[in-house]
Chains A and B, each alone.
Chain A
Amino acid sequence: MSAVDRTRDIGEYVPAQDDDMIVCRCEEITKGEIRRAVHDGMYNVHEVRRLLRCGMGLCQGQTCARLVKSIVARELGVRSLEDATARAPMRPIEMSVFANDGGGE
């Protein structure tokens, strides 16, 4: 882990032709929104996700996570980035099913 100064200059946000492309289909987040978030100081996938909700919908980023990561990395000019944290459950589960785990008093 190394320190990242958030005042580091990553250049201006330059609009691109494919900015309207939807990257996260569950939450309908576009490439342009992700790129602008990086220029707003969100210097990793975690912060972008918390700001925009990309990867937080029904599929939990199983479709778009790699794509989001590559967009953020390219915008920052870095080779690699940490993945967003995967969280249980792996598939959406009804509350009534979850509640039926046999626990409780």
Chain B
Amino acid sequence: MSNVSDVIIVGAGVIGNATAYYLAKRGLRVTVLEKSEYIGNGGSSRNGGGVRQSGRHPAELPLVMYGVKNLWVNLSDELGMDVEYYQEGNLRLGKTPDHIKTLENLTNSAASGGLDVRMIDYKEAQSICPYLSDEVIGASWCPTDGHANPMLTTLAYYRAARRLGARFVSGAEVVEIRKLGGRARLVVTTDEVYEADTIVVAAGVASNKILETVGLRVPMNPALLECLVTEDCPPMFYQMLGTAMADFYGHQSKHGSFVFGGTTGYEPYTTYGGTPPATSGSAPGTCRGIIKYFPVLRDLKIVRTWAGWMDDCADHIPVIDTPDEVAGLVIGCGFSGHGFGISPTAATILAQLAVGETPVLDVSRFKYDRFKVRT
């Protein structure tokens, strides 16, 4: 088979697969190269599934709002697979006046960005989700937030792109991008050389190793993200949950199981490489957080825990850009642990950048060269 295509995408995560889908839909010849033997084996299959607008970085808010309005709502139909998208709102809970202050600040910031989000009292929160602890005194409420199944979304984009003729090669580790005539043109793996007019690097935390071969580097580090899954139980509520203190976040999935994540405070202190290790302290800490807010769940059984790596950027927002330094190259990485919710929008834009169109939203906040030294 010819190794020449219009666009090569490095990384078969949700960003790479979705970009492949949007490009293949335009009739372009697309090749996706994935280092792992498995499609979507990085952060794409290892996140909490939030499609969350509230609590977003202001720069990302337009991306996620565009996605919620235009892309998520039809995604299952468009891709021909149920991605288990629920738009039942997000409750971010508080128990103390300090918590409420934190939530008010987040709410004001998001509301000034045009999002429908507001503070509610315990009574209203209770009427939305009757399982709350009575220690909750208030919450922020964003009715248009939701969640989806990240594994299915990633595989749905993969399957749809593949059906449109996109070529996926797994177990293909990229070792170098080479320029021809001043443009990024060749992608060298451990056993093949691929060629394309445009190269999209969407390899998560592994992107730097590839970008460094053309003299670029995004200031980002691997950071651990850990989740747990419970046994399934009858439907209780479909809101996305979080707290002012970020003790935990999560939701009940269509399957009936709950997916919860939490933080330990030691996320950046990890050894990168191989299968990400679930640490022994994470799930117990997340359980303590959950029980404080949802005592009714205390006897629910955990069946599985997992970990993944976030590509945590210095300013915690991604790079989505065609860098001036290297023609023919598009970068989409550094999503910093909240890339899933914006993945349909980010991929739409990456596809537009790859074909030289003006993106549907302004992406000047996500430029590669935005990182300046302190003085």
By a CB distance below 8 angstroms, the chain A residues around B37 are 1, 4, 44, 82
B231 contacts A92, C-beta separation under 8 Å: yes
| Interface size counted on chain B using CB atoms at 8 A | 50
Does A18 interact with chain B (Cβ within 8 Å)?
no
Does A21 interact with chain B (Cβ within 8 Å)?
no
By a CB distance below 8 angstroms, the chain A residues around B162 are 6-7, 41
Chain A, interface size: which category?
35 or more
User: What are the interface flags for B124-156 relative to A under an 8 Å C-beta threshold, 1 for contact and 0 otherwise?
Assistant: 000000000000000000000000000110110
B300 contacts A95, C-beta separation under 8 Å: yes
* Min distance, Cβ B96 to any Cβ of chain A, angstroms: 16
Question: Which positions 164-183 of chain B face chain A at CB distance < 8 Å?
Answer: 167-173
A3 contacts B284, C-beta separation under 8 Å: no
The answer to whether residues A87 and B155 also contact, given A6-B170, A47-B39 and a CB cut-off of 8 A, is no
B291 contacts A95, C-beta separation under 8 Å: yes
Q: How many A-B residue pairs have CB under 8 A?
A: 124
Q: How far is the CA of A43 from the CA of B71 in the complex (A)?
A: 28
The answer to whether residues A6 and B288 also contact, given A95-B300, A96-B298 and a CB cut-off of 8 A, is no
Does B215 interact with chain A (Cβ within 8 Å)?
no
By a CB distance below 8 angstroms, the chain B residues around A10 are none
A-B contacts, 12 listed (Cβ < 8 Å): A1-B37, A7-B168, A50-B45, A50-B154, A60-B303, A87-B305, A89-B303, A89-B304, A89-B305, A92-B301, A95-B297, A98-B302
B residues with CB within 8 A of A: 1, 37-41, 45, 151-152, 154-155, 158-159, 162, 167-173, 189, 191-192, 229-232, 255, 275, 278, 280-281, 283-285, 287-288, 290-291, 297-306
List the 7 closest pairs (A to B, CB-CB), nearest first.
A92-B301, A99-B287, A50-B151, A6-B168, A101-B284, A96-B298, A95-B287
A residues with CB within 8 A of B: 1-7, 40-44, 46-47, 50-51, 53, 56-58, 60, 82, 85, 87-89, 92-96, 98-101, 103-104
